[in-house]
Structure 1
Amino acid sequence: MRKIATAVALATLPGPGPHAAPELRPKLAVIIVVDQMRADYVDRFNGQWTRGLKRMVTQGAWFEHAAYPYLSTLTCAGHATISTGSFPHVHGVFQNTWWDRDARKLMTCTEDPRATAIGYGAPVTGGDSAYRLQVPTFADQMRTRRQARVVALSLKDRSAVMLAGHGGDAVVWLSNTLDGWESSSAYAQARLPAIEAFLEANPMAADFGKTWDRRLPVASYSGPDEGAGEAPPEGWTRKFPHTLNGARGKPDAVFMAQWVRSPFADAYLGRFAASLVRSLELGKHESTDVLAVSFSSPDFVGHAFGPRSHEVQDVYAHLDQTLGTLFDGLDAQVGKDQWVVGLTADHGVTPIPEQLVAESTDAGRINGAAISEAVERVVRPVLGEGRHVTMLNINDLYFEPGVYAGIRKSRELLDAVMAAIAARPGILRVFRAEEVRGAEKSKDPLLRAAALSYFPGRSGDLILVPKPGWMISNAGTTHGSSSDDDQRVPLLFMGPGIKPGTYQQPVTPADLAPTLAALSGLSLSKAEGHALPCIQ
């Protein structure tokens, strides 16, 4: 069985001592997040990289033992941790969505009733911001304390928003309907000409009809090309090649679902970032500017095809090229020794359960509805008919108002509820909210992991810890657990002030922002991470 929560203790380890900022501060600080990049991808694939990723591994500082110390390893939580240097129990963003007890509905981590969406190319509704984030980001502090210009972009709203924080000069993401780009009134009062100009000159539909095939020789890929349990998007099979042809012979919704699951989307985002660097003249000001880019396609591809697939290996071969082009552009625009970059991931991913089962590994798919019904069967005879469980959202189970208080009045009933959940396939532990709260320094590694993911008022009444290899997902694969597969990610730095080499000490992605801040002559007062010893 794979190890669980080996990184949990990192949150309580003493950090490295303070580091003085280099005499010459970088003109541009760059944050690169690769959505769903496992730590072992660097070991497995770096021999096939030749440009951007290769440059970071060979010319930068590579921390081989980076991992998240908390339970709910999800996109919004990961990006918030990277950008603030703190963990969910402090910054407040513990999942992509959670049940809002006051509003009586499921809310996204960026949903803001006070913000107004600003659309580019398609109608938009609602509004997004980081108003639920309790801690300022690195970009926030550079912007407010050093007048830095801030650019953040991604295919996902939660990724761009959490990297930027509470403001920025250009913060943009692909709409959830995948038919246009958007921002919000939290970042601008109207459409930005720089964004409009790029989108007009670079329509996404230009990739319609293209074919995604292996970039490398077929013999370079490990494992089968048609793995068990893979879940490709409509119009594709589980085998290469994959043509972006949509469903009706035109750039429709099916085409866009294919596009975001291809390396063409990463390449587009890289060009978009380079364009905004030029048009907003990042790196041309007295202070250090900030560029934050989150590449989402590796996550879309990973969910569909799994970490052992040819598709995942190939999307990183393409991303290596995309980052190489972006880095070359920064050399030309900002200056080769004038910018610094930190790269990490928001989480890893677990192999497809069917593939693990075929290897006689304990794995499977957790039936969330069955868990809720098992709880209802225990509670109804005591508390009466009606609905008692509001919902199970990944690892968090919410009860209807007053129900959990009623359950807690009877130790026998509480124990029966906990036992009913623990008896379900794939469940390793069940914690009560009151035992998780304040347990960030517990010697129980799983309890500590749950505590670092817990935020009062937002988290569930009961917290479920899945076994390694098990997940609440009906197809493909996912993440969100405290297993090594989901917690371990890469962490690399490159640029002036960085001492190249391979580093073996345990670190977390919460160390990225404090490290970039130290290089920029700034300290992050609410960070739990630390500036790392790669600063020279």
Structure 2
Amino acid sequence: MIRRFRPVVLFLLTAVAVSLPASPRAGPSAQTSAPRAPKLVVMVVVDQMRADYLETYSSALSHGLRTLMKEGAWFQRAAYPYLNTITCAGHSTIGTGALPYRHGMVLNAWFDRAANRSRECTGDPATTKVSYGGLTGTSDSPAALLVPTLAEQIRDHAGARAIAISLKARSAIGLAGHKADAVVWFDDRGAWTTSSAFAKSPPAVFQRFIDEHPLAAEVGKTWERTLDPSAYKLTDDGVGERPPSGWTRTFPHPLGTPGGKVDSAFLGQWQRSPFADEYLERMAEAAIDGEKLGSGSATDYLGVSLSSLDYVGHAFGPYSHEVQDMLVRLDRTTARLLAHLDARVGRGNYVLALTSDHGVAPIPEQIPGAGRQLSREVGAAIDGALGPIFGPGKYMAFSAYTDIYLAPGVLDRLKADAKASAAVLAAVGALPGIAHAFRSDEISDPEVRTDPDPVRRAAALGYHPARSGDLIIVPREHWILSSSATTHGTLYPYDQRVPVIFFGAGVKPGEYTGDVTPADVAPTLAALAHVAFKKLDGQVLTAAVAPRAGSK
């Protein structure tokens, strides 16, 4: 077993630093000892939250995020150690304590070679939607997730309950795993839904809330800056920003079209606004109240993944007024969740972790020397290299960011033909913005997961032989493989570094500078909750765990 991973982008202290706080602070007495197990474990994931956001916008954060930073155990140099820093991989890593090579959720979508088609990581044609809004069709499930989650192992205890919610199916499912009492997400057609993999009917715990808070009530709201315009650090009209339909690149951002309907334009805007996160936080409160989480004899679990920062970041980039305002509002949304937990469960009776699934690159047009490379250009380079050797044809079947899937049989031909292999790798590697290109069999040996070469190591930790691409390409720093304003999915600091904070029962507050990864979150929460946990790749961050009463 790999005992500790070295994120590619960090030059850190040795792994011993994990157990040494850089500047420990005394915290509330309720957090410095754990005489009994907490009654509720709360996992909060903020999609696309870069670690540097907490530092960059620190002066504007005075509510919930400030509480976590000051009174929690804040690991300031947490980073993913793998290449494919995307939503499905990140949430599955957080939920299980395993890395993608092991849990199998390597990409948001990969190419199913047997079916000769792409598939979403949680897409499952054997399931059907179970919707609050009457939607029908195939749905999602955790069938492709190869290891159990923390939520599953908590729920295995008699009387324990587990709930996970998000705008995204892959996020909710990554936090819930294979069995939970309620796993709910938002369908892009405008209704909250679950799957026949989890329930025969919509979970009752959310029915009343959804009935009393219809999305139509959100139409007509306007997203304005929370702070005075002078408090925002950069421009409100950044080059390369690509707002959703109906919005401009500058504030204010009204929700809805003149007809006032819950239509596709409104839904795109609402999900890219702080109002969606605020709605989801209120749903979390409804789950706490409706299921009386944290009030039974066993420890319960609540997973909440807030997706809107990701949608906003993709549209406006990390240096926008919109992202800064999302952080300011997230600060207040987090405060409301903490206040509700304090009121219903009691401070000292719950433990909470906050982290993220990945970061995001700057918009290339805002960085000198940056750029973007598109999959069609990669495909053209492959065809151009192989055409003279194998004959004219289409040799790329599918691409998923850094993973290139070749047409059936092509990889085997490359393995047998050194000239063809060298030609295709040279052609792809010569494209503008491409730093590395190699065949997947170069990283398939488990030994490569500890390779001294940081690129090969990161690629291997995210590689699964049945699901990853045949060729792996790595863009240069600040280059992206997308036509969207910006994205993520590389081994650079802006994609790998995320916050990791623990707060509540049994947590030893402090600021920590050790080498940690989000795979450490689940085993550490299990230790804090006194729950048996099947440890995979992550470690218990013992520095954050206060001694139990009576221990030496």
Report the TM-score range of the alignment, normalised by the length of the smaller protein.
Answer: over 0.9
1:250 matched to 2:257: no
Is the contact made by 1:247 and 1:254 (CA closer than 8 Å) also made in structure 2? Answer: no
SS for the counterpart of 1:66 is coil
TM-score, normalization by structure 1: 0.95
**2:167 is the alignment partner of 1:164:** no
In structure 2, give the amino acid aligned to 1:93. M
Does the CA-based 8 Å contact 1:92-1:132 persist in structure 2? yes
2:321 is the alignment partner of 1:310: yes
Deviations 1:447-502 (A, max 9, x none): 00000010011111111111111112213110001110100001101101111111
Question: Hey, what's the Cα distance between the residues in 2 that align with 1:8 and 1:501?
Answer: 21
- Which residue of 1 is the match for residue 544 of structure 2? 534
Unaligned stretches of 5+ residues in structure 2: 1-6, 20-31, 547-552
Amino acid at match of 1:168: A
2:373 aligned with 1:366, yes or no?
yes
Residue 407 of structure 2 corresponds to residue 397 of structure 1? no
Structure 1 counterpart of 2:93 = 81
Write the distance in 2 (CA, Å) between the matches of 1:164 and 1:247: 39
Tell me how far 1:321 sits from its aligned partner.
1.1
Report which stretch shifted further, 60-69 or 146-155: 146-155
Question: Which SS does the other structure have where 2:456 is aligned?
Answer: helix
Give the 3 Å change call, closer, same or farther, for CA 446–302 of structure 1 in structure 2. Answer: same
Please give the residue correspondences for 1:184-333 in structure 2 after superposition, counting only pairs within 5 Å: 184-246=195-257, 248-333=259-344
Q: Which residue in the other structure is 2:388 paired with?
A: 381
Alpha carbons of 1:247 and 1:431: their partners in 2 closer, same or farther (altered >3 Å)? Answer: farther
Matched letter for residue 535 of structure 1: V
State whether residues 12 and 514 of structure 2, in contact with CA within 8 Å, keep that contact through their aligned partners in structure 1: no
**Residue 424 of structure 2 is aligned with which of 405, 413, 417?**
417
Give the equivalent residue in structure 1 for 2:9: 6
Paired residue secondary structure (1:391) = strand
| 3-state secondary structure, aligned to 1:312 | helix
Separation in 2 of the partners of 1:444 and 1:524? 32
- What does residue 436 of structure 1 align with? 443
Q: Is the 8 A contact 1:7 1:68 kept in 2?
A: no
Would you say how many aligned residue pairs link Structure 1 and Structure 2? 525
Q: Distance in 1 between matches of 2:109 and 2:68?
A: 33
The 5-angstrom pairing of residues 418-497 of structure 1 reads 418-437=425-444, 438=446, 439-497=448-506
- The whole-number CA distance in structure 1 between the counterparts of 2:496 and 2:38 is 30
- Matches of 1:407 and 1:329, distance apart in 2: 58
User: 1:423-461: CA deviations, max 9, x gaps?
Assistant: 001111112111111210100000000000100111111
Query: What is the aligned-residue identity percentage?
Result: 46
User: How far apart are the structure 1 equivalents of 2:418 and 2:206?
Assistant: 58
How far off its partner does 1:23 sit?
Answer: 3.2
Determine helix, strand or coil for the equivalent of 2:465. coil
**8 Å contact from structure 1 (residues 232, 304) kept in 2:** yes
Conservation of the 8 A alpha-carbon contact between 2:91 and 2:175: yes
Contact 1:247 1:255 in 2 (8 A): no
Q: How far apart in 2 are the matches of 1:523 and 1:531?
A: 12
Q: Does the CA contact (< 8 Å) of 2:121 and 2:170 recur in 1? A: yes
Give the counterpart letter for 1:451 in structure 2: A
Matched, 1:140 2:147: no
Shift of 1:247: 5.8
Q: Secondary structure at the match of 1:264?
A: helix
Per-residue deviation at 1:59? 1.0
Matched AA of 1:80: S
The SS at the match of 2:449 is coil
Partner amino acid for 1:473? Answer: S
Q: Is the 8 A contact 2:129 2:135 kept in 1?
A: no
Answer with 284-293 or 191-200: which moved more: 191-200
The match for 1:517 is 526
CA distance 1:78–1:7, change in 2 (3 Å): farther
Give, in angstroms, the shift of residue 327 of structure 1: 1.1
Q: CA deviation at 1:245?
A: 2.2
Q: Deviations over 1:505-524 (max 9, x none)?
A: 11111111011000111243
Hey, what's the Cα distance between the residues in 2 that align with 1:448 and 1:390?
A: 26
SS in structure 1 opposite 2:499?
strand
Shift in Å, 1:332: 0.9
Check if 1:124 corresponds to 2:136.
yes
Preserved CA contact (<8 Å) 1:66 1:490: yes
Q: 1:504 is aligned with what amino acid?
A: T
- Counterpart of 2:234, as a letter, is G
Given that 1:163 and 1:292 are in contact with CA atoms closer than 8 Å, whether structure 2 keeps it comes out as yes
* Separation in 1, partners of 2:347, 2:102: 37
TM-score by length of 2: 0.92
1:173, CA displacement in angstroms? 0.2
Q: Distance in 1 between matches of 2:278 and 2:47?
A: 15
2:140 aligned counterpart, secondary structure = coil
1:255-306 residue CA offsets vs partner (Å, 9 max, x unmatched):
1110011111110000001001100110011111000000000000010000
Shift of 1:96: 0.4
Shift of 1:46: 2.3
What one-letter code is carried by the residue in structure 1 that aligns with 2:195? S
Kindly state the Cα deviation for residue 249 of structure 1 after the two structures are TM-superposed: 3.5
Written as runs of structure 1 = structure 2, the 5 A alignment for 1:64-79 is 64-79=76-91
RMSD: 1.8
Q: Secondary structure at the match of 2:94?
A: helix
Following TM superposition, the consecutive aligned residue runs of length 4 or more in structure 1 with deviations greater than 6 angstroms are none
Aligned partners of 1:233 and 1:258 also within 8 Å: yes
Q: Which residue of 2 aligns with 1:99?
A: 111
**Is the partner of 2:44 in helix, strand or coil?**
strand
1:16–1:531 contact (8 Å) kept in structure 2: no
Q: Shift of the alpha carbon at 1:146?
A: 5.2
Aligned partner of residue 448 in structure 1, secondary structure: helix
* 1:349 and 2:360 are equivalent in the alignment: yes
For 1:5, the aligned partner's letter is V
Taking the aligned partners of 2:18 and 2:227, their CA distance within structure 1 comes to 41
Per-residue deviation at 1:385? 3.0
Check the 8 A contact 1:8/1:445 in 2, yes or no.
Answer: no
Deviations 1:26-50 (A, max 9, x none): 1100000000000000001122122
In the aligned structure 1, how far is the partner of 2:17 from the partner of 2:322?
38
Q: Give the direction of change, closer, same or farther, for the CA distance of 1:16–1:212 in structure 2 (3 Å limit).
A: closer
CA drift at 1:193 = 2.0
